Chain A
């Protein structure tokens, strides 16, 4: 068995084709969609967690590359723009991973990157929009 997160970039010609169902039907993969942004006439981007048999997974990747999908390793980082952060604490109550915490001494908000699960919940609740996602 293999379980792997990857970034898939679709050319606009594939955006209206049923690619995902093919992965399920032909290769028996489980698909977990972590992020998807696909708009007509533009490139689509998906972050997927694929789980299945090792050889079937390899065949699936080969199939995707064959039809023009770019497959890249998943490197997802949430970064904080230190200049914009006002240390208010609006993110602390929303963060499910205890990655954003109040420092008892300084009362500043510490961002513990090692605990971040990249759920992105902090992005829209940050008033100065200091939290950003990088792929």
Chain B
């Protein structure tokens, strides 16, 4: 027996749809089996809330009088440089950008207490942002300097457009070296001092649809507290990674590029974040509904932390030098227990992704669907799957000769 997305949407409209979170689905599948679960459940909601560095916004500021061509010029939002290589008043701000005066890692480890991610959070919160722009001036755009306060309600478009979010699984980071290191996986103390991980595991979107059967281009989602869409596969999308029998990859694999109207998002789901010694970023809330079209989807969404495995990777030497291999694999159930064993040593674990917030996102999305405030979409097309041949390559460097 199978269902279509249209049939599920009809049920949502009538208020009859059965919607559960990916956490609740575990027990349902365990108790009733996947076939029965597929008959009973229409939608499973997922969620994740973690730092996602490939995130940013584009704005159309609105034209000034007289006109200015910021395109090709410079633009700062609260002192953080935005990219201006577009038309006159379109700018893009990435979440890892820092002010020019930030000492960064000159005094290692740097603080990175303010960057693009923090500007995005403040903009979404409705705070005024200081805009300073310069231009070279043209006959049609004569103005050369602009300094003004900017509010999200006054710009024409404010769009969150993230080239890579919602990683399907991730490394567990440890440090085998003899000195403390400061990474995007947090502070890692020397000699296996701690192990940090970053995934919502059993609640994570792509771990509940491991082969991308329902999540594709055009899928409507929860993004930053508002509505967004899957725009494309994310950068570094790597679907060919080895998988367990349940379809979940044993290392970082699929990714998604996400887009949505920033004006309807909320600052609590787009949080400016700092990683000491590494940089500024944005913690993003993402939730994706999974239609339970058949028994197979019920089985996938019934996946639990004890059945999802992540590789333990040394960030002291191996990761920075791209030395292949890992120190073994652990399940998310082991990671959430607070300690794991690496090379015979007991190591405490720390999470960078908020499980309680992932749960809150899945609950919020469930609520929206139950109230018929959110309906499911049929993807326009799929993102590349495990057999697509899509891979993630290193840069092949070719020296540029002096003459």
A76 partner residues in chain B, CB cutoff 8 A: none
Q: A127: which B residues are within 8 A, CB to CB?
A: 51, 271, 273-275, 281, 283, 352
Q: Which residue of A lies closest to B354 (CB)?
A: A88
Closest residue to B189 on the A side, CB-wise? A94
A124 / chain B contacts, CB cutoff of 8 Å? 109, 111, 187, 276
Given contacts A88-B50, A88-B351, A90-B351, contact A125 B276 (CB under 8 A): yes
Stretch binding the partner chain, chosen from A8-16, A35-43, A62-70, A100-108: A100-108
Query: Are A93 and B51 also in contact (CB < 8 A) when A87-B357, A124-B276, A127-B273 are?
Result: no
Q: Is A44 an interface residue (CB 8 A)?
A: no
B residues contacting the other copy or chain, number (CB 8 A): 31
In this assembly, does B355 line the interface, its C-beta being within 8 Å of a C-beta of chain A? yes
For B273, the chain A residues whose CB sits under 8 A away are 127-128
A129 on interface, CB distance cutoff 8 Å = yes
- Give the Cβ gap from B181 to chain A, nearest Cβ, in Å: 13
Q: Are B111 and A125 in contact (CB under 8 A)?
A: no
Given A127-B283, A128-B283, also A89-B275 (CB < 8 A): no
Mostly, the A contact residues are: loop
B354 and A87 form a contact (CB under 8 A): yes
- The distance from the CB of A117 to the nearest CB of chain B, in whole angstroms, is 17
Take A125-B186, A127-B274 as given contacts and tell me if A92 and B350 are in contact as well, using a CB distance cutoff of 8 Å.
yes
Residues of A77-122 whose CB lies within 8 A of B: 84, 86-94, 102, 106-108
User: What bracket does the count of chain A residues touching chain B fall in?
Assistant: 10 to 19
B residues 186-213 in Cβ contact with A at 8 Å? 186-187, 194-196
Closest 10 A-B residue pairs measured CB to CB?
Answer: A93-B350, A127-B273, A89-B351, A107-B356, A88-B354, A124-B276, A107-B355, A93-B194, A87-B356, A108-B356
19 sampled A-B residue pairs with Cβ under 8 A: A86-B283, A87-B354, A87-B356, A88-B49, A88-B50, A88-B352, A89-B355, A90-B350, A90-B351, A93-B196, A94-B187, A107-B359, A124-B109, A124-B111, A124-B276, A125-B186, A127-B275, A127-B283, A127-B352
